Structure 1
Amino acid sequence: MNLKHVLVIPFPAQGHVNPLMHLSHKLAQHGCKVTFVNTEFIHKRVVNAMNEKVNLEGSKVELASIPDGLGPQDDRSNQPALALAILRTMPSSLEKLIRDIDSVDGGSNRITAIVSDLNMAWALEIAHKLGIKGALINPSSAAVFALQVNMQKLIDDGIMDSNGLPIKKGKFQLSPEMPMMDIENTPWCNNFGDLTSQKTIYYYISKMMQHSHLTDWWLSNTTSELEPAALSLCPKITPIGPLMESTEFRSLGQLWEEDLSCLNWLNQQPPCSVIYVAFGSFTVFDPRQFEELALGLELTNMPFLWVVREDSGSKTEIAYPNEFQGVRGKIVRWAPQQLVLNHPAIACFVSHCGWNSTMDGVSRGVPFLCWPYYADQLYNKNYICDVWKVGLGFDLDQKGIISRWEIKKKVDQLFGDQNMRIISQKMKEVIINNTAEGGQSSENFNRFIKWLKE
């Protein structure tokens, strides 16, 4: 039997590239060859960020790239512009790449399946056209996937209009067992600025949901115990998570080079003493809020490991944290997050509540202090704090700032709550059992592999 050759294509953002790379390594471990297709812009960053120790010769995952349709000077954090450029140019580029791969070595290397990020579901059209298998992987929560499946119902129920814009303010519930969601906090409304941008994001998501019906495989980076209500609302969603990194090729999905010095620093800290602070790849702070965070960490009198990306704000911010580096604090540009959260010194995780970070934290039994920024992060916070009860949220002051005193207060509250730590540890055990052999996520993944190889 020829080796099955799977093409995996993520949406061009850190929170998508990472879990799809974990999935690719899992496919490779099960005997598939994988071609991982980034945009040229992301591909360059991944290659530049690779740890020197990574030797791709041993990997069955090959890296490839196609243009995203934007020019070299265009701003890739402008997601509406990026979304429109992707639709304009990437489908034809992907088809050409597949035909080029298929023509090498007399067709012995041909692509036999495409596994597409839900946000790149247009790739299923290419699979359909070329007569190869297609499947979807959703890197966010099953709850957000279920929300997108039910977008038409929200229109029919008069909650939003046909552009995804709220008809009236307020909250709604997809099912009685799921947390309430604020209509203004849907992933297409929140923090995208003007109405035109919101409409564009909604249009793009709607298009992806239309394409999603071209496959019976809706894989999701979650477990049945974490999101039972969302999974019963959309039984087509198949949980295979949480997706964990391959230690051998760990830095392959990173857009920043990981600073491994933080692991040695953690080795010198007492067990369960360090506050880990990381806000993902998109969060940007204004200088005032940034300063309050720094002063709040200082006020806690606890050791902290803080990830400050170079692009997280103004130039003053980049220089500023150096004043706080010292005996108690360690600041890095980017961290090997799953290794950090696995470290016995970590006591809690101050997080933006992106779904990958959420999965990283709950699967390692680490309680959260929730600081969501935009999109699905606000809904993920509801699960962390209200459904699973493994975290606390911060409250804003009259100026709309999370003050240093609020930070200290919530850190003290979390450290004093032994019950939350016990719940976090129990959740970790449930998740480990799910991904272990015989667990539901593991069995679902094996069924998927069987289908890929048929």
Structure 2
Amino acid sequence: MACVLIGDSRTSAGWPKRQETFQFAPGMPPLHTSQLPWNHAGGQQAIFQLVTQNNEAKDLAEVIVCNSFRDAEPGAFKLYPDILPIGPLFADRQFQKPVGQFLPEDTGCLEWLDALADRSVVYVAFGSFTVFNQRQFEELALGLELAGRPFLWVVRPDFATGLSKVWLDEFRDRVGGRGMIVSWCPQQQVLAHRAVACFVSHCWWNSTLEVVRNAVPFLCWPYFTDQFQNESYICNVWRTGLAVATGPDGVVTKEELSGKVERVLGDDGIRERVIALKDAACRSIAEGGSSHDNFKKFVELVKLKE
């Protein structure tokens, strides 16, 4: 749940006083103080202030809605019973038009996926904010090459710093038709495609729920803010994916990536759990489901305010 976290605005910038693991409530994932949402960004103090301001603003709200569903986070909704989960949300069930896109979509990737076997493709995307340095980018690319599986990789123009075009061109030549690199793609359609086997990503909440809705296993590579708590839900609570581990130098190696891809795709338990979680999500938005009923409550409240 993309919910507010209580911080102490009296501290200088929200830095934790102790390094320890804590839990908000039973059923919620454990979280280390180093992984608080404001501790992973260049604008650390600004994000901390935003969170504390949100906490103050929530007291003025008549209702708070969120893009989640009760079976995904029963502990969180027991702790915050006044929050109405109305998800998983998606704007266009039939994929008739792009929604909330930052860059022009390369829809050619859908035709490329059509030619591949069911659950064979590793889809890799890190959203619109994540930035890798040259070494990490190259290790990611080499990990996909080492895995030896078809892959669809979203590489924004500003995704990597200091990247050599010559190096990237040589990589493209080596992987040939086995890999497709695009600057942006219609993610909802990609994740719903039968050929996608797993999603390597940063675990932002909207992407996480898109994965849940399509029963796709996750390989978690969080970058900042709430992504670390979302990773914990995926790996420790739902158990629908695995997390990559960084080495002593903070880099995820090609061996780590390729090995985790194989483990995710070879785990029958993960496959069973992603299907069960998808079924729970579908029940929540169906007629009579908890999210469906909450959405109706929200609509009625809006009507009363007109």
Q: Given the two structures, how large is their TM-score scaled by the length of structure 1?
A: 0.63
Partner of 1:253: 100
**Residues 123-202 of structure 1 aligned to structure 2 (within 5 Å):** 141-142=1-2, 144-145=3-4, 148=5, 150-152=6-8, 161=11, 163-192=13-42, 197-202=43-48
Distance 1:231 1:277, change over 3 A: same
RCO higher in 1 or 2 (8 Å CA, sep ≥ 6)? Answer: 2
* Alignment pair present for 1:390 and 2:240: yes
Once residues 232 and 318 of structure 1 are traced to their aligned partners in structure 2, the CA distance between those partners, rounded to angstroms, is: 51
- Matching residue within 61, 66, 75 for 1:220: 66
Residue 150 of structure 2 aligns to which amino acid in structure 1?
P
Once residues 224 and 398 of structure 1 are traced to their aligned partners in structure 2, the CA distance between those partners, rounded to angstroms, is: 38
- Matching residue within 227, 239, 261 for 2:85: 239
Once residues 248 and 327 of structure 1 are traced to their aligned partners in structure 2, the CA distance between those partners, rounded to angstroms, is: 26
Secondary structure of the 2:62 match is coil
- 1:299, distance to aligned residue in structure 2 (A): 0.7
* Alignment pair present for 1:278 and 2:128: no
Partner of 1:401: 251
Once residues 166 and 67 of structure 2 are traced to their aligned partners in structure 1, the CA distance between those partners, rounded to angstroms, is: 36
- Matching residue within 271, 279, 282 for 1:429: 279
Once residues 219 and 321 of structure 1 are traced to their aligned partners in structure 2, the CA distance between those partners, rounded to angstroms, is: 43
**Which has the higher Rg, Structure 1 or Structure 2?**
1
- 1:296, distance to aligned residue in structure 2 (A): 0.7
**Residues 37-186 of structure 1 aligned to structure 2 (within 5 Å):** 141-142=1-2, 144-145=3-4, 148=5, 150-152=6-8, 161=11, 163-186=13-36
Residue 203 of structure 1 aligns to which amino acid in structure 2?
Q
Residue 67 of structure 2 aligns to which amino acid in structure 1?
N
Q: Is the 8 A contact 1:165 1:199 kept in 2?
A: no
- 1:413, distance to aligned residue in structure 2 (A): 1.1
- 1:198, distance to aligned residue in structure 2 (A): 2.7
Residue 161 of structure 1 aligns to which amino acid in structure 2?
T
- 1:401, distance to aligned residue in structure 2 (A): 1.3
Partner of 1:291: 138
Q: Is the 8 A contact 1:290 1:317 kept in 2?
A: no
Partner of 2:53: 207
Secondary structure of the 1:369 match is strand
- 1:347, distance to aligned residue in structure 2 (A): 0.4
Q: Is the 8 A contact 1:171 1:181 kept in 2?
A: yes
Q: Is the 8 A contact 1:308 1:334 kept in 2?
A: yes
Residue 211 of structure 2 aligns to which amino acid in structure 1?
G
Secondary structure of the 1:349 match is strand
Secondary structure of the 1:396 match is coil
Once residues 84 and 180 of structure 2 are traced to their aligned partners in structure 1, the CA distance between those partners, rounded to angstroms, is: 39
- 1:181, distance to aligned residue in structure 2 (A): 1.2
Secondary structure of the 2:123 match is strand
- 1:423, distance to aligned residue in structure 2 (A): 0.8
Secondary structure of the 1:210 match is helix
Residue 24 of structure 2 aligns to which amino acid in structure 1?
L
Partner of 2:199: 349
- 1:151, distance to aligned residue in structure 2 (A): 2.9
Residue 151 of structure 1 aligns to which amino acid in structure 2?
G
Segments of 5+ residues of structure 1 without an aligned counterpart are 1-140
- 1:321, distance to aligned residue in structure 2 (A): 3.7
- 1:281, distance to aligned residue in structure 2 (A): 0.9
Distance 1:248 1:403, change over 3 A: closer
Partner of 1:264: 111
- 1:422, distance to aligned residue in structure 2 (A): 1.1
Once residues 337 and 208 of structure 1 are traced to their aligned partners in structure 2, the CA distance between those partners, rounded to angstroms, is: 29
- 1:320, distance to aligned residue in structure 2 (A): 4.3
1:293-346 CA deviation, whole Å, 9 max, x = no partner?
A: 111101111000000001112252566444344220001001111100100000
Q: Is the 8 A contact 2:29 2:233 kept in 1?
A: yes
Secondary structure of the 1:242 match is coil
Q: Given the two structures, how large is their TM-score scaled by the length of structure 2?
A: 0.92
Q: Is the 8 A contact 2:7 2:51 kept in 1?
A: no
Secondary structure of the 1:176 match is coil
Distance 1:341 1:322, change over 3 A: farther
Q: Is the 8 A contact 2:244 2:260 kept in 1?
A: yes
**Aligned-residue identity in percent:** 43
* Alignment pair present for 1:369 and 2:219: yes
Secondary structure of the 1:452 match is helix
Q: Is the 8 A contact 1:310 1:318 kept in 2?
A: no
Residue 204 of structure 1 aligns to which amino acid in structure 2?
L
- 1:162, distance to aligned residue in structure 2 (A): 6.1
Distance 1:312 1:434, change over 3 A: same
Once residues 320 and 261 of structure 1 are traced to their aligned partners in structure 2, the CA distance between those partners, rounded to angstroms, is: 24
Segments of 5+ residues of structure 2 without an aligned counterpart are none
Give the root-mean-square deviation of aligned CA atoms. 1.8
1:349-389 CA deviation, whole Å, 9 max, x = no partner?
A: 00110111101111100001110011110111000001000
Q: Is the 8 A contact 2:39 2:225 kept in 1?
A: yes
Question: What is the number of equivalent residue pairs in this alignment?
Answer: 300
**Residues 293-312 of structure 1 aligned to structure 2 (within 5 Å):** 293-312=140-159
Residue 310 of structure 1 aligns to which amino acid in structure 2?
P
- 1:400, distance to aligned residue in structure 2 (A): 2.0
